[in-house]
Structure 1
C-alpha cells in the first residue's frame, strides 16, 4: 500500500494537473497531493495511520495477539517526540496530540499491559462498582482501591463548591449514567430503582435481540449533570458491534492520561466486552480505543521512557470461572487472570 501511494505521488498527474481541468479541480488535486505527502511522512514514525490496517492479509489488519501493547507504547513515544506542550486545570503541563486510535485483538489474550504492573484488582472492582450504578468512592476505598479517593476527598469537593455533599459522593458519574441516565440525582445514599434510562440493560438487550443495530451505544456524557459531577467523564461513550459470533467494542475517550489512565481504561473496557460477550453467548473480538486529547504529563516523561525500554512479555488470558446470565450477578471471584508476568511497578503521580 505504501508503494502504491509513493508511486501515485511521483506520477505526473498529481504533480502536473492536465490543463483541461478547471481551477477547482486543480486545487483539489493539490490538496490531495499535500495530504498524501503528510500521510507518507508520518507512516514511518507514527504507526496509527490507515496504512497499518489497509492490507490484503486479514491477519495483519489486527495487531498480533501478544504484541498489541506495542501500539500503546508507540503512541506514547510519538506523543513525547511530537506532542504540543499545553497547560490544563491540574497545574501540571502535558505533551498532547489530538486524535489517536489503537486497536486491540482480545480474542485469545487480554490487554493487561506487561511493561509495568497494572492494578488488575482495582480494574475489576471499579467495573463492578460502575455496573452497580454506585457513585460512592468510599465503597472502593473500603476494598483498598484508592483510585477515586482524591476526587471524593473533602478538600476536592469543597474546591468545587460541593460543601453540603458528603465525602466520597462523586455526584452522577459513570455508574449513575450507565444505569439511570436522565434521572434526578440527589446523593450517593438515595435509592434510584428503575428511574432514568438503564443504558447497560438496553445495550445487552440490543445485542441479544437486534445485533446488527448501529445504535448499541452507552454514554456517560450528560450535559445536564456535568455541573454536579466531581469529575466529568474521561471515557465518554462506547459502542458495541456484533459480527460472526464476536462482540467488539469501540470506546471514545475525550481525555487520555497515557501514563496512568490509559492502561487502566484499555483493560477496563476489554473486561466489560468480555462480560457482555459472556452473558450474550458471544466471543470477544476487538477493543478499539479512540482518543481525543491524548497526553503525557511532563512529570511522567522520565518514568515512561523507562517503560519504553522494557521488553514486551506475552499478554495474559482472562477466564470467567462460572456461567453468568445477568450482568448484575458477576462477583469478583468469577474472574481469573492467567499467566500475567509483568515487569515491576513504575511510580507516576496522578494530576488532580
Structure 2
C-alpha cells in the first residue's frame, strides 16, 4: 500500500497527481479512459485545512459546505445543491433525487456513532455504512463512491477513515470529499467534545 501523508491538502494533491501521471495504470471505465492508483491511503494530518483551490481550476468551497449540510440534514434532493453546482444534474437519474446521496444513508447512523464513542471511547465499531446491497446491481448514474466511514477516539482526538470504491482526485477527493467529510468529522468531534 502506498501512503501519502501530509498536513497540507495542497501538498498531497501535488504528490498524488505526480504519482498518477508517472505510474498510474490506464483503464477504461464505463467507456472512458482514465488512470488509477491501486491500494492508496491518503492521510490528511490537519483535516481542518479542508479547502484546496488550484489556480485555474473551478472550485466552490460553498459546494462542500452545502454537501456537508446535505449529509447532516439527511437530504437527497438535487435542488438544494443546484445553486452551488449546476453539474449535479449529471448525477441524478430523474433530475430530482440523488440515488447515492450520503445524507439519507447515514443521518440516522450518526446518533449511534456518538452513543458508542461516549459509552466506550476505545470502541472500534463506530462505523457509518454507506454502501448497501441494492447498490451492487443498481442502474444509476450515482452509485456511492465513499462506502464506509470509520471513527476512532484516541488520546482525546477523533480519527476518521474513509473507504471508497472509487474517488476522482480532481473533483471528488479534493474538491468535495475532503471538505465535506472533514466538516462531518469536526461536527462529531464537537459533539463528543474532543479534538480533530
TM-score (norm 1): 0.50
Deviations 1:249-285 (A, max 9, x none): 011121111121110211211111111111111111x
> Runs of 5+ in structure 2 lacking a partner?
none
1:174 aligns with 2:102: yes
Alpha carbons of structure 1 residues 83 and 225: separation in structure 2 relative to 1, 3 Å: closer
1:110 aligns with 2:49: yes
Conservation of the 8 A alpha-carbon contact between 1:235 and 1:254: yes
Residue in structure 1 matched with residue 181 of structure 2 by the alignment:
269
Conservation of the 8 A alpha-carbon contact between 2:147 and 2:162: yes
Conservation of the 8 A alpha-carbon contact between 1:112 and 1:118: no
Equivalent pairs, count? 192
Conservation of the 8 A alpha-carbon contact between 1:170 and 1:229: no
Conservation of the 8 A alpha-carbon contact between 1:138 and 1:168: yes
- Give the deviation of 1:146 after TM superposition: 2.9
Question: 1:175-324, aligned counterparts within 5 Å?
Answer: 175-179=103-107, 198-225=108-135, 227=138, 229-263=140-174, 264-284=176-196
DSSP-derived class of the 1:93 partner: strand
Conservation of the 8 A alpha-carbon contact between 2:89 and 2:95: no
> Runs of 5+ in structure 1 lacking a partner?
1-38, 40-47, 53-61, 158-165, 180-197, 285-352
- Give the deviation of 1:167 after TM superposition: 2.7
DSSP-derived class of the 1:224 partner: helix
1:136 aligns with 2:77: yes
Alpha carbons of structure 1 residues 98 and 81: separation in structure 2 relative to 1, 3 Å: same
TM-score (norm 2): 0.86
Alpha carbons of structure 1 residues 228 and 93: separation in structure 2 relative to 1, 3 Å: closer
Higher-Rg structure is 1
